[in-house]
Amino acid sequence: MNELIFQRLFALEGKIAVVTDSGRNSSNDVARLLASAGAAVVVADRETEHVQPIVEQIITEGGKAMGVATNVEIESSVVSLFNQVATVWGVPNIVVNCAAMNNNGPFTEFTAIAWDEVMSVNLKSVFFCMREAVKHMLKGGHGGRIINITTMGALHPVLNGNGAYTAARAGVSGLSRAVALDYAKDRILVNCVMPGAVPGKVRFHPDAQDRLDSGRLSGPVMDIDRRRPLGWGDPQDLAAAALYLAGPSGGYMTGQSIVLDGGFLVT
């Protein structure tokens, strides 16, 4: 009975999943969990040294995976990624956009260059990946799932100096709802996962990391420990939400967001 329930809700046998930025951070867990549910997983990351270890790990665990070196900020690289997947394995059924970079700092000191960097990683890359995913899913004619990993901070401020990152991630939320509406008739379902305090969900720009390490970055806008009654999350929590949206369990959900915030918003 347990196996039957799993098959009805979460089984991904025969599905092809593309997970971006999946050679590192919490996206590792997303790629591994989708593979364990039966999906053939494409590990897409621009840092080639991060790609092969997770591919080998998935294969060792009995899954199917391949790596494709991809810079999701470059249009031609994203187009090449989806064309390569379609040629080698077929049309992807599931796309999980995990790439993220934060460069929080004083708003009045934020430069146009820094703003463009944040928008490129956190918003433009998602546009490229969603556009190409939709193109291929339409050609396949069997619908698909697009899952965008954003942040709970798009709903409520958490850290000081997060204006650019928040704006980019809020843009992803709006884009997701718009595309969900446009392609619901084609059974292309688009949703977001909004994690809060989940380690490894985002990498920091070197400038922001220097500010954090030196203590020059202003602190939280509120008592985070008090506002997080369930404590720190786990990358597996994020992966589980992605699996829910990717599998049969998520078949009647589109244009929505799952918030993983440890109770932050209800406090």
- Give the start-to-end residue ranges of the domains of the chain: 2-260
User: What is the DSSP annotation of 89-115?
Assistant: T-S-SEEEE---EE----GGG--HHHH
Domain boundaries 2-260, corresponding CATH code: 3.40.50.720
Angle between helices 163-183 and 112-119 (to 10 degrees): 40
Q: Give whole-number Cα distances, 32 to 38, 39, 89, 228, 249, in Å.
A: 10, 10, 18, 27, 19
**Residues 94-118 pLDDT 10s:** 999 999 888 888 899 899 999 999 9
Distance separating alpha carbons of residues 235 and 195, to the nearest angstrom: 9
Q: Is the dihedral of CA 98, 90, 255, 259 positive or negative?
A: negative
Q: Is the pLDDT of residue 206 over 60?
A: no
Strand, helix or coil for residue 145: strand
Other Cβ atoms closer than 10 A to 57: 16
- pTM recorded for the entire structure: 0.89
Other Cβ atoms closer than 10 A to 193: 27
**Residues 52-96 pLDDT 10s:** 899 999 999 999 999 999 999 999 999 999 999 999 999 999 999
Structure confidence at residue 156 as a pLDDT band (50, 70, 90): confident
Contacts of 123 (CB under 8 A, 6+ apart): 168, 169, 171, 172, 175
Distance separating alpha carbons of residues 229 and 197, to the nearest angstrom: 11
